[in-house]
Amino acid sequence: GQSLEQPSEVTAVEGAIVQINCTYQTSGFYGLSWYQQHDGGAPTFLSYNALDGLEETGRFSSFLSRSDSYGYLLLQELQMKDSASYFCAVRALSGNTGKLIFGQGTTLQVKP
């Protein structure tokens, strides 16, 4: 089976940097994705890591260590609009395709 662990809540102030960690267990692994969801809205894709290392996209960066089954999402220069839930997800092997399994999500609250 697959399981992912991430903190349930994180609080930070505007302008700061925050890191959201994710550890996973899965049989077969393609890569780790991150999604953002604002209050009941549609989840939106942020990033995907298939190889070890850091991927940077603007203020957001994502890191993966396959050997440690660990990744994180780094948000820099936090803005109020970054207050949302953030989900890590793994692409796990399922037959000849990979199903995307999500963690329980981390609620980020950005304070002024």
> Under the rule (CB under 8 A), what is the footprint of another protein?
30-33, 40-45, 48, 50, 87, 89-91, 94-105
**Minimum CB distance to another protein smaller for 74 or for 101:** 101
Kindly state the tokens that stand for 107. 């609620």
**Minimum CB distance to another protein smaller for 12 or for 101:** 101
Separation of alpha carbons 76 and 28, rounded Å: 31
* Shortest distance in whole angstroms from residue 41 CB to another protein: 7
**Minimum CB distance to another protein smaller for 29 or for 110:** 29
Reference 110, options 12, 41, 5; nearest CA is: 12
